[in-house]
Amino acid sequence: MGELDPVIHAPSRLRIVTTLNDLLEEGDTVTFPRLQELLAMTAGNLTTHLGKLEAAGYVSIAKAFEGKRPVTSVAITLEGRAAFRDYRRSLLELLG
């Protein structure tokens, strides 16, 4: 278990990283509400976990305005994809 990345090795963050990795191509972003919908998480919970992933450099979060409406976009970084790939490999190795 010690080999598993502790940033990803939490149920909610694993689901977030899995979603971003599968949903987005390189150079893509997803809006916060759409990500929340796919994860069925509360806004507060998602915000908290995204903050941890952003601090680790696994996701990038951008805030902008579309007209007067604030829009938050989330992307997975190359480092995040690599970390997810490593995590997945380690997890499957552990399971044999």
* Interface contacts to other proteins, rule CB under 8 A: 1, 4, 9-12, 14-15, 18-19, 22-35, 37-39, 42-48, 50-51, 61, 63, 72-73, 75, 88, 91-92, 94-95
The smaller minimum CB distance to other proteins, of residues 50 and 83, is found at 50
Measure the CA–CA gap between 68 and 1, rounded to whole angstroms. 47
Torsions phi, psi for 51 (to 5 deg): -60, -40
Measure the CA–CA gap between 15 and 39, rounded to whole angstroms. 7
Least distance from C-beta 75 to other proteins, angstroms?
Answer: 8
